[in-house]
Amino acid sequence: MNNKAITFLKNFSYTLSSNLISIIISTMVILIVPKLIGVESYGYWQLYIFYSSYVGFLHFGWNDGIYLRYGGREYQKLNKTLFFSQFWTLVFFQIIIGVIIFSFSAVFNDDSNKLVIIKMTVLCMLLVNVRLMLIYLLQCTNRIKEYANIVLMEKVLYCIFILLFLSAGVRLYQFLIVADLIGKFLSLVYAAYCCREIVFNGFSTFYFSLKETVENIAVGIKLMFANIASMLTIGIVRFGIERGWDVGTFGKVSLTLSISNLLMLFINAVGIIMFPILKRTNLEKLPQIYLTMKTILMLPLLGLLVMYYPLKIILIAWLPQYADSLKFMALLFPMCVYEGKMALLINTYLKTLRKEKLILFINLISVFLSIIFTFMFTILLKNLSLAIVTIVVLLAIRCILAEVLLSKILKISVKKDVVFEIAMVLIFILTGWLFTSWIGTVLYLVAYVIFVIINRIDIKSSFSHIKILLKNG
């Protein structure tokens, strides 16, 4: 096994271990918190998580530009003085934005709970966006071990403080937010230590580089808007649900989304490893690598859908107050199939090929459709089931459109695979929604076995190709 393969496996083990622990912690939080703090408090906590997921918008693509422009570089060869100046310029910029939002929120919001959430979100923005520059520098230079430790530290501290607060009898959502902010702050301190040559350079070396800042933002803002548009695809539907129904319903739907998204923690981690590797890979090899990875990825993704059936039974027994919303897992669980392929394969490839405009175009189409569907199902028809199924439909449309456009760039055919994936997802949704017994499990398992048999030649070929790649690089 060559050095590249060994490095990949080491990085994979780092991200796998840190993200498995993150999944365990996230699962604990998802299962324990809603049982203890009540539906309304859980709704406000989810509202903070919802708002804070958009704070990345406020660095205006600065960090994304660094990620794209310097992806594949060696950390030792980076211009430390330049990045020291960029880091502290970003810090000052975020403080100014935070002060502005802090001031306006008090004037235009009369709901005390939402005002608290907005102010906490501002603090989250400062911590997240500043830390993101350091995280992106570690990711794009393939320092995956340090990145994995930062992720692990945040999640572990977050879990510890939540458990401490809950053990002390605290049931206020504000303390859960504080636990999140503490985890983010201390992980920022560790990230600064990992990049200490950049963060703690002498202030005498500081200089404001307008050219560098503009170039980073100009490159990154397309990807940033693409990411925001990607989040808005689901976010608009969630916003429609929050406005059309009470905060308790919003919290219940958010719980179902959180459970359905657990697998994404692992998938995103693998995507992070792949980006710097693909940036250093010969362009001629990219099409074959894509076909190989796609086959190997879809096999477990479609197989893991079967976990829905026992998981639903366990969750209803554990959280009976959420039983009416957990039925929507049958509609939402397949989102991990399309989100997984998008995050690990399609987006990673489009970033490698510097197709930020194409990513933005695809996501803007998704947002446009999201607005139409949300208006129809949350305002005109006011149908919660249709609003929720819209999420999977939108993610499927975005993924299929993106893969078709990428396949034209790579000059490969994906039509057969797209049809198979749609068929499997439809079978899962229908069996999960129509059958409450184990009959649904059996029917989907039969369909999955047929899928594997039909695609056995491609599966065998992909595993053989992986062995060759590990051996030769």
Residue 201 covered by a domain: yes
pTM of the model: 0.72
In this prediction, residues 348-368 reach a mean pLDDT of: 87
Same domain flag for 284 and 387:
yes
Amino acid at residue number 286: L
In a domain, 222, yes or no: no
274 close to 424: Cβ distance less than 8 angstroms: no
Are 137 and 261 members of one domain? no
Exposure b/e, 159-193, CB count within 10 A at least 16 = b: bebbeebbeeebeebbbbbbbbbbbbbbbbebbbe
pLDDT tens across 59-103, in order? 888 998 888 888 778 888 888 899 999 999 999 999 999 989 888
Q: How far apart are CA 355 and CA 370, in angstroms?
A: 23
140 and 96 in a common domain: yes
Residue range 389-416, pLDDT digits in tens: 888 899 899 999 999 999 999 888 888 8
- Look up the domain containing 133 and give its range: 1-208
Same domain, 98 and 35: yes
Give a yes or no: residue 91 inside a domain: yes
Q: Is 130 domain-assigned? A: yes
Six token digits for residue 390: 């819209």
Residues 140 and 266 in one domain: no
Environment class of 105 (CB within 10 Å of its CB; exposed 0-12, middle 13-18, buried 19+):
middle
Mean per-residue pLDDT, 256-269: 66
Taking the C-alpha atoms of residue 151 and residue 22, their distance in angstroms, rounded to an integer, is: 8
**Do 189 and 246 share a structural domain?**
no
- Residues 36-67: tens digit of each pLDDT: 777 778 788 888 888 888 888 888 889 988 88
Q: Are residues 176 and 237 in the same domain?
A: no
> CB under 8 Å to 61, separation ≥6 — which residues?
216, 217, 219, 220, 221, 222, 223, 224, 225
Q: Please tell me which residue, 449 or 231, carries the higher pLDDT value.
A: 449
Q: In whole angstroms, give the CA distance from residue 336 to residue 317.
A: 24
What the block records as the tokens of 283 is 């362009």
| 321 within some domain | yes
CA 31 to chain centre: 20
On whether both 143 and 239 belong to a single domain, the answer is: no
Within a domain: 220: no
Structure tokens at 80: 């430390």
Number of domains in the chain: 2
Domain-embedded: residue 217 = no
What pLDDT, in 10s, does the model give residues 435-445? 877 788 889 99
Kindly state whether residue 218 falls inside one of the protein's structural domains. Answer: no
Residues 50 and 103 in one domain: yes
Same domain, 381 and 429: yes
**Other Cβ atoms within 10 Å of 83 Cβ, number:** 21
- Distance between CA atoms of residues 162 and 170, nearest Å: 9
* Residue 172: pLDDT over 60: yes
Pair (170, 113) in one structural domain: yes
161 plus 240 within the same structural domain: no
